[in-house]
A = this chain, B = another copy of it.
Amino acid sequence: MTIHNKNFDEMSSPEVLRKLATSPFDLTAPGSLTSQRISQYTCQQNSFTLLYSTQRINEAVLAELQQLADESQAVEQFIMMKKGAVMNRVAGCDSENRQVLHTASRDIFNELPAEPEASGKARAELDRLRHFLNDLRNRRLTNQQGKIFTDMIQIGIGGSDLGPRALYHALAAFRNPERNVHFVANVDPDDTATVLRNLDLSRTLVNVVSKSGTTLETLTNEELVRRAYVQAGLEPRHHFIAVTGKGSPMDNPDKYLRSFYMYDYIGGRYSTTSMVGGVMLGFALGHDNFIEILKGANSMDIGAEEKDIRKNIPLLMALIGIWNHNFLGLETLAILPYSQALIRFPAHIQQCDMESNGKSVSRLGTPLNHQSGPIIWGEVGTNGQHAFYQLIHQGTTVVPVEFIGFRQNQYEQDMDIKGTTSQEKLVANLLAQSIALACGRDNNNPNRRFPGNRPNMVLMADRLTPRAMGELLALYETKIVFQGFVWNINSFDQEGVQLGKQLANKLLDHFQGMRQDKSYCPADHDDPGWALLKAAGMNRKM
């Protein structure tokens, strides 16, 4: 199959969609949100139901979005990606030139995986993880005093932190009650200090996660925690685990109790279902629950091969997102889960989406003349209703919303209060917000008018189980990948983080210089870093 890699503005659909966007469907017109419309714009896939009647779309828009999906070969590209094509590249530019195979980390339930080599490696690491977890369970692996490990510190940042942390919180209801996990990410020394404050280090494993083995924050925090172990009279190598790339500076089994591998064809922000999430989630939730996460993710990866956008939730959400962003001109997207367990999920998707699609250059190396990824933000409901929903309903900026909800709670500790359960109150609020935003309401008092036409959609599933969580994770990963394919950008590199790193190193030279010489002054007097450092009072501190 040939992939054309057509730039977004060279396809025919955008022109048609631009015209359609001049008079988008009016959700505020009386009788517009009929039960017929609601059931017509519902899609069921695996555990999830997508309700999208509250978007400003109609049959003409959906037909053209289908055309856009077809013209950009979004599904074909996704299938090629899963088969191991080199998708992480920008033509004509020095770039990472890598395969993109996070899907292989869960493509392990089929005799014939899409990319057998990567799936084989994933299976091998999973086997090693299973043995490790068995050793812990059977007390073959204990601390030096023969006691079981009760805690784990995960040291990682970005992709080695946000996804794993989001899933740990999401599935805490399913964890082994005797095991707790703590996270250190920030180079702020107070982050480590807070975590170390109340821990029995002798019963604690430390999982250090860095693909390159050179991440400044992670190495610094590993060193801080190692020193705490030594101060406590403990041997780090009986406690520390490494998750890193083969051949990285951290690939040194002598220093670690166990080492697990990750591969350069899995980007950090897509690595939750690799050993990056696996070691910690396996420790906390047990091996079987981690496999359930992988099964969920894999089932969504398979479903995403469907070409009919109305039967493919990640593709449909990707295209409606493009409709809102590129054609209705809405710059942000709020992800609002009505589930306390999903408290860190918006932060993970914020990373995955904005680092993937916050780009200005096409895969052909040409500057974009259209919007790429939106700004992603969000908090859990109902909390947000008492916080920023005022602006979503009545502000001067329209914010598209993706709601996520569940029919049942996790802990089954609910009660009837005033005739309804808390879960019913939660879901009633979610659905009410969807309608209020879409339809609005007029009022004689201008301060009580709700303009409506604020596009939103609702993802519903029965219960936030490990399998549903795996599906939800893959759903969003694939939505993001589809949008990148349609915009013809490389969703898999992150060149935009380099300049800040370089300038930070230059500033660190100044700190070292000042320490060695009180009258230090850099050779380049006009260096803005030095001037800013002085204006910030950082030289007085020394």
Contact = CB atoms under 8 A, between A and B. Distances in A.
Nearest to A172: B194
Given A394-B359, A445-B93, A422 B189 contact: yes
A530 to B, nearest CB: 8
A529 B409 CA distance: 21
Interface stretch (A73-81, A143-151, A446-454, A471-479): A446-454
Contacts of A71: none
A540 B190 CA distance: 49
Nearest to A437: B500
Interface stretch (A245-253, A274-282, A346-354): A346-354
Contact of A382 (B186, B382, B535): B186
A504 interface: yes
Contact of A385 (B392, B409, B500): B500
A189 B463 CA distance: 13
A536 B405 contact: yes
Copies of this chain? 2
Given A331-B331, A379-B347, A541-B408, A188 B536 contact: no
A94 B433 CA distance: 24
A8 to B, nearest CB: 11
A49 B439 CA distance: 46
A441 to B, nearest CB: 6
Interface in A364-412: 365-368, 370-377, 379-383, 385-397, 399, 405, 407-411
A373 B351 contact: no
B425 A35 contact: no
A360 B407 contact: no
Contacts of A496: 389-395, 450
Given A358-B390, A536-B458, A425 B216 contact: yes
Given A35-B531, A172-B194, A188-B426, A391 B375 contact: yes
Interface in A480-500: 490, 493-500
A192 interface: yes
A39 B500 CA distance: 22
Interface string A502-515: 11111110011001
A392 B445 CA distance: 39
A39 B531 contact: yes
A387 B166 CA distance: 13
Given A331-B332, A377-B375, A388-B355, A220 B417 contact: yes
Nearest to A512: B419
Contact of A394 (B269, B360, B365): B360
Contacts of A529: 431-432, 435
A407 B185 CA distance: 20
A377 B374 contact: no
A385 B497 CA distance: 7
A233 interface: no
A7 to B, nearest CB: 13
A34 B64 CA distance: 51
A189 B412 CA distance: 8
Contacts of A499: 393, 436, 440-441, 450
B497 A447 contact: no
Interface stretch (A112-120, A157-165, A234-242): A157-165
Interface stretch (A256-264, A299-307, A336-344): A336-344
Interface string A155-186: 00111011000000000110000000000011
A250 B439 CA distance: 35
Nearest to A158: B386
A1 interface: no
Contacts of A433: 500, 503-504
B535 A388 contact: no
Contacts of A189: 409, 411, 413-415, 421-423, 426
A498 B448 contact: yes
Contacts of A33: 528, 531
A188 B382 contact: yes
B186 A360 contact: no
Contacts of A124: none
Contacts of A341: 188, 190
Contact of A358 (B173, B392, B410): B392
A196 B268 CA distance: 35
Contact of A391 (B354, B409, B541): B354
A70 interface: no
Contacts of A128: none
A265 B391 CA distance: 22
A360 B460 contact: no
Given A375-B391, A419-B515, 19 more contacts: A31-B526, A187-B382, A188-B338, A189-B423, A190-B410, A192-B422, A217-B425, A220-B417, A220-B422, A223-B417, A227-B415, A355-B387, A358-B396, A366-B446, A371-B396, A375-B377, A405-B536, A427-B507, A433-B503
